[in-house]
Amino acid sequence: MKILVIGTPKRHSGSHLPGFDNVLLGLKGWGAGLDHYPNILTQSLSGIGDYEFKFKGSDISYPEYHAVEDNLKKGHYGLIITTVSRVDYMAGKHGLISRVTREFKYSLEANKHKLGGTIVTDWIKEGVRLPPFIVIDDTDDPFIWSVNLDLLLNCRLYFKRELPFDRFFCFRMFESQLKNEKKVELADKLRPCWISYDRELVSRFFDINNLKPYAERGLDINFICDPFTNHIRTRTLRFLEGIEGRHKIATARSGRLGRQEFYKLLCDSKIGISLPGRGWDCFRHYEVLLSGALLFATRPSIEFARPLKDGENCVFIESDLSDLEGKLKFYLGNPSAAQKIAGKGNELARGSMHNGKLAEYIMETLKGADVL
């Protein structure tokens, strides 16, 4: 089966990849044949960072737009995977003035990432005959924007990273347009997914197979992050600054660190605190688990498709931080218990959270829903 991926030309560098990119890389590792539009190797205006080689090779081809249209007419694809709607500045048939205007807008820093499901939405409105398609929504928002309603209505499944427990909350931007029966139908289309990580990229920064023994770690607590993306982070930073005299703590107060220095400190930490930024599912969760530190995180506010369990492979704290001090005291005072939980968390991350498992989860979910 040939899969058509409608993605975005912008890519991040370093060890962090958006969830949609991780799905693509996971499918590549799965041996799935992929056509990707647009050509991210040539249309990412700022370059695609030090993992460019990941998107090259025979497993991913980059046909031109007219070739994609021809393939659709011929029924060449068995599945389309797309992301949320963006503004399409470069694809399709445009007049010269329109194309120049779109290319200028596309060159703006704020618009480099915009493409994705807009093309699929256009095809729906134009009556193009499409194979089954799914949406991977890796945005931070716990709701679906109105611009994606056509995608939601017409897709077979809609995978959402920040999927609230009350799935009806996803429809808050267009709820008045839906009857109750329709809300139930659309809620049944929703599935959780997670950011995941690429093992090869992470291994460039530290060896996940050769971690420092827990008992030999020099830092008690690691809380290096941007403290201003969420008020919970700001309050946590203030609390930790108040106990620095009693513990060895690394915080964001020391300033922005290079990726290598950050990982060096994290792999020397006993406890890593990872709190929500714009969304609950953030890459720091995976970094802490992979480093061998004990993950402290707030209780999930979303459906999370991986089995994180309090006291088994991580430690959950309340969002009001009422139990943070007590749990830090307990686990710093009981290193054997902390080490056991940290080890289980590391096993979970290494075995079940990487992008290969994300792709496997998505494909198995599609089979279970009779999409494949």
Average pLDDT over residues 318-337: 97
* pLDDT digits 0-9 by tens, 11-66: 555 566 778 888 888 888 676 789 998 887 766 544 445 445 677 766 788 898 89
Same-domain pairing of 239 and 311: yes
Identify whether residues 168 and 21 lie together within a single domain: yes
Instruction: CATH number of the domain at 282, please.
Output: 3.40.50.2000
Q: pTM for the whole thing? A: 0.89
pLDDT tens sequence across 271-325: 999 999 889 999 999 999 999 999 999 999 999 999 999 999 999 999 999 999 9
Beta bridge mates, 156? none
Phi/psi of residue 145, each to 5°? Answer: -70, 150
Distance of CA 106 to the CA centre of its chain: 24
Q: Residue 146 belongs to a domain with what CATH number?
A: 3.40.50
Is the same domain home to 183 and 307? Answer: no
Domain check: are 108 and 193 in the same one?
A: yes
Displacement of CA 98 from its chain's centroid (Å): 33
DSSP string of 84-135? SB---SSSS---HHHHHHHHHHHHSGGGTT--BTHHHHHHHHHT-----EEE
Residue 175 sits in the same domain as residue 272: no
**Token pair of 270 as six digits:** 């006993």
Give the domain range for residue 38. Answer: 2-197+355-368
Regarding whether 359 and 335 lie in a shared domain, the answer is: no
Both 318 and 182 in one domain: the answer is no
Is 67 in the same domain as 183?
Answer: yes
Q: What percent of the chain has pLDDT over 70?
A: 85
The total number of structural domains that make up the chain = 2
